[in-house]
Structure 1
Amino acid sequence: MKFNPGLIVGALVAALAATAGLGGVALAGTPQAPLHAPYAQAAAVVKADATVVRAKGVVQVDRVNAGRYCVTIADGIDWAKSTPQATIGPGGKWNGEIRVAAEPSKVCGKDPRKLGVYTGVNGAYADQPFNVLVP
């Protein structure tokens, strides 16, 4: 049986377009897809508007206001006994900054399940995409 390469490429493009279209259905802040991170308790890839692209052990991300986010970690994970890490994600400003709270933060209501992540540009709070990891 012979396959037409043009039909195969067309079918792949159509499948990718349909899959990409499904990505916008999830609510902002809740994980859209699982994240493979075998040595992490929790991790997430987050857009600047708090949309969670992929996650493991992260229940939700809320944007409190410009550059201030609360990452809700799943029950049973005590992030305060770990060393949480965060980096500016793809599409972020090169002169961007990021900080992670070392303890439950006031911005997140001192909730022990919520990890505060703060992003900015040139010393001022500003929304930035980020990746967060709780080893």
Structure 2
Amino acid sequence: MPLDAPYTQAAAEVSSTGELLKAKNITESRRASLGVCCVTVGPDPVNLPEALVLAGNGPTGGSVHTFVTPNPNCGNAANTILVLVRSSTGAAADAPFTVAVQSRPAFRRAPRAVRNSPHTHHKESHS
């Protein structure tokens, strides 16, 4: 099923079995082992090391971690995100998760405005 995410280069909603439920620019998701999934980005190329990769959901009280460097669990493929899902105790766990990939240029900082802060103290000179 397509995923509507206009400002995202790639995104996926993945089940606890590794099945790809919804996707944008994702060709595959698979469970490699307990708590380990591989999400393949494509067909449009994305520079994963330069992108902002966000992950969410996972087990209650647990965590979801992503790695974009090629990993043997995912066949050392450069276009694949390794996803580790952990329970609240830190043990590997199978749980649904989401992942989104956004390009860094969208996050360029705007020039910083100079303004007076109420916390800035100025010395006044009295002549």
Does residue 114 (structure 1) correspond to residue 75 (structure 2)? The answer is no
Structure 1 gap segments, 5+ residues each: 1-32
Residue 45 (structure 1) shift: 0.8
| Contact in 1 for aligned 2:12/2:24 (Cα 8 Å) | yes
Does residue 38 (structure 1) correspond to residue 9 (structure 2)? The answer is no
Work out which of the residue numbers 81, 94, 100 in structure 1 matches 2:50. 81
* Equivalent position SS for 2:81: strand
| Contact in 2 for aligned 1:61/1:71 (Cα 8 Å) | yes
TM normalised by structure 2 equals 0.74
| Contact in 2 for aligned 1:87/1:98 (Cα 8 Å) | yes
Q: Supply the AA of the counterpart residue of 2:94.
A: D
**Aligned length, in residue pairs:** 100
* Equivalent position SS for 2:13: strand
Q: Residue 121 of structure 2 corresponds to which residue in structure 1?
A: none
Structure 2 gap segments, 5+ residues each: 103-127
| Contact in 2 for aligned 1:46/1:52 (Cα 8 Å) | yes
Work out which of the residue numbers 64, 68, 93 in structure 2 matches 1:126. 93
Does residue 104 (structure 1) correspond to residue 70 (structure 2)? The answer is yes
Q: Residue 66 of structure 1 corresponds to which residue in structure 2?
A: 34
Indicate the larger mover: 58-67 or 99-108: 99-108
Residue 108 (structure 1) shift: 1.1
Cα RMSD (Å): 1.2
More helix by share: 1
* Equivalent position SS for 1:123: coil
Residue 62 (structure 1) shift: 0.8
Identity of aligned residues (%): 32
Structure with bigger gyration radius: 2
Q: Supply the AA of the counterpart residue of 1:40.
A: T
| Contact in 1 for aligned 2:68/2:80 (Cα 8 Å) | no
Q: Write out per-residue CA displacement over residues 13-52 of structure 1, whole angstroms, 9 at most, x where no aligned residue.
A: xxxxxxxxxxxxxxxxxxxx00000000000111111111
* 2: CA distance, partners of 1:130 / 1:57: 17
